[in-house]
Amino acid sequence: MLSSSLVNRPVLSLQAGGVIATAQEPIINPGNLKIIGWRCKSGNHKLILLTQELRDISEQGLIVNDLSALSSPEELVRHHEIINLNFQLTSKPVKSGRGRLGKVSDYSYNEGLFVQKLYVDQPLVKVLSGTGTLIIDRTQIQEITDSYILVNDTDVKASSEEMATAAAIIPST
């Protein structure tokens, strides 16, 4: 599932039978890339919806039991540090040992709400040369800082022996 399913989503209450808030953006722990909750808006109130309060994520929105699933940021002492980081994954520069690769344009997440893959838009020069968007798996991430994400180099050069083996297996057209 892509990050677009996490942004500006209605928060639906089973008890009230309707929308009680809007989940504006996910809160991501940069240490393990887990989505711990959402920043929400209900009227003029800024609230937090933690993932453990979710009943379900559906096409209609994020489903909770009732309004008590939403908390003020001050109440969440245990998550205070992560909430105050305001960590944003999209638009974060991505680089490897060889240099800058581009910026995170999107990400996918699994049912456990862990970020699985980063979709990295490359600079215009690389797009014109035909490389386009890179897909980086979470296992390739070495370090996450406030200013960038460092990943393993993904371009591994094949030896001439490996190329000959691949040519023998894949018939030319």
Closest among 113, 86, 92 to 5, alpha carbons compared: 113
The chain-wide mean pLDDT, for the chain, equals 85
The whole-number pLDDT of residue 131 equals: 60
171 phi and psi, to 5 degrees?
-70, 140
Higher pLDDT, 172 or 104: 104
Structural domains in the chain, CATH included, are 3-85 (2.30.30.240), 88-173 (2.30.30.240)
The whole-number pLDDT of residue 3 equals: 87
Q: How far is CA 83 from CA 6, 37, 48, 151, in A?
A: 16, 9, 9, 25
Higher pLDDT, 155 or 108: 108
Higher pLDDT, 5 or 47: 47
Q: What is the pLDDT of residues 36-76, one digit of tens each?
A: 999 999 999 999 999 999 999 998 999 999 999 999 999 99
Mean pLDDT of 153-158: 50
